[in-house]
A = this chain, B = another copy of it.
Amino acid sequence: MSKIYMDHAATTYVKPEVLEAMMPYFSEKFGNGSSIHSEGREAKKALEAARQSIAQALGAKPTEIYFTSGGSESDNWAIKGAAFSRMDQGKHIIISAIEHHAVLDPCHYLKKFGFEITELKVDEDGLINLDDLKKAIRDDTVLVSIMTANNEIGTIQPVEEAAKIAHEKGVLFHTDAVQAVGQIPIDLSNSAIDLLSISGHKLYALNGVGALYIKDGVEIDNLIHGGAQERNRRAGTENIACIVGLGKAFELAKSNMESESKRLTVLRDKLIQSVLAEIPESRLNGHPTKRLPNNVNFSFKNVDGEAILINLDLMGIACSTGSACTSACTGPSYVLQALGMEYRWTNGSVRLTLGARTTEEDIDTVVGALKETMNRLRMITFKA
């Protein structure tokens, strides 16, 4: 049975071109980027070339790109770094209610240091309201953080407008772009965004590498103090192989983003339309058009998400669910709950995220598998 991987939002495989670019840096060109001997200088050169590729893909300057260990570190650095650097000016932070845990949790941690957090509500499609943001900004607000696109439901937020509102009030603006980078165009050359988080393993580079964009002139506290790497802002011997891979992944993403995002949007919409037409009591979660080209998120009434997932896995389809019964019974995902749906809908959610190898045939197979699964499970279920 050949497998269909539809969980690219969780993690992507490493593209062959990316791995090929990384290979020389494991055992041959393995120098420490801070050393002055020739091995070290070669490592340094590769590092700066990768920084250049990433900056170019984002319309940023190379001096604005700082390498990290991934999206979670970037988010933590941005949030805590901004907060701690400005705690004399105020202790209020605004985020959306559907931020990733890597933004939510550092914010809640900051309460220990006296910070207050305002969570903006979202509408039934997952969009924030810009008027709410305007009203929420206070004199002591030091940071606004709104994600570019949501990891569960794929909804794309009006971050540029939100950043402008924050800037008008002199407040820093961060966006978690982990899911958006490589999928939708991001141009920071004329942007009000101060801080932007990136993770490698969502765009076909390896896990454990990411970056934080920090606009030139924006000062935030370091998160990882120590060595002078990353112009004294992020200590730790650089992960050259993975960084080179990240650079390559950005180059690939930039060069084929237009065609690939069109291709994925067609497949995505076919999957959405087929399922909504062919499976009763199904609905799409997230915005119908303002959504990532690769993201599909369904709810099926009266069926448990985990049960769906296991059935699909047995049929060779890997995807994920927003119902949280996997770790402990804490109920369905806070993101789906924020959309205002009932339990019997939120708990029956399935996220299918497409990728570079997804074909039209895969879509047909998945639609068939979903139909079969819902039929099976709805025979067993105690309907509400």
A residues apposed to B, CB below 8 Å = 3, 5, 7, 10-16, 19, 26-28, 30-32, 34-40, 68-73, 75-76, 84, 100-106, 108-109, 112, 199, 201, 206-209, 221-228, 235-242, 306, 309-310, 312-313, 317-320, 326-327
Q: Can you identify 19 A-B contacts, CB atoms within 8 angstroms?
A: A10-B35, A10-B40, A13-B27, A14-B27, A36-B313, A37-B320, A72-B227, A72-B237, A73-B224, A73-B236, A76-B224, A102-B227, A102-B235, A108-B225, A109-B222, A206-B239, A207-B239, A208-B209, A228-B327
Measured between beta carbons, the chain B residues less than 8 angstroms from A235 are 72, 76, 101-102, 105
**Separation of A10 and B227 alpha carbons in the complex (Å):** 12
Measured CB to CB, the closest approach of chain B to A179, in angstroms, equals 12
Q: How far is the CB of A66 from chain B (nearest CB, A)?
A: 13
A200 to chain B, nearest CB (A): 10
- The interface residues of chain B lying within 8 Å CB-to-CB of A38 are 313, 318
Report chain B residues within 8 Å CB of A76. Answer: 223-226, 235
Q: How far is the CA of A226 from the CA of B327 in the complex (A)?
A: 15
> Closest approach, in angstroms, between the C-beta of A272 and any C-beta of chain B?
21
9 nearest A-B residue pairs (beta carbon) = A208-B239, A69-B69, A102-B226, A105-B225, A72-B236, A10-B32, A37-B318, A11-B32, A72-B235
Contacting residues, chain B, for A35 (C-beta < 8 A): 7, 10-11, 318, 320
Q: When the two chains form their complex, are residues A69 and B208 in contact, meaning their CB atoms are under 8 A apart?
A: yes
Write out the residue numbers on chain B whose beta carbons fall within 8 Å of the beta carbon of A206: 26, 239, 241-242
- Within the complex, which residue of B40, B207, B313 is in contact with A238, where a contact is CB–CB below 8 Å? B207
Q: Which residues of B contact A13 (CB under 8 A)?
A: 26-28, 30
User: What is the bound-complex CA distance between A206 and B245, given in angstroms?
Assistant: 14
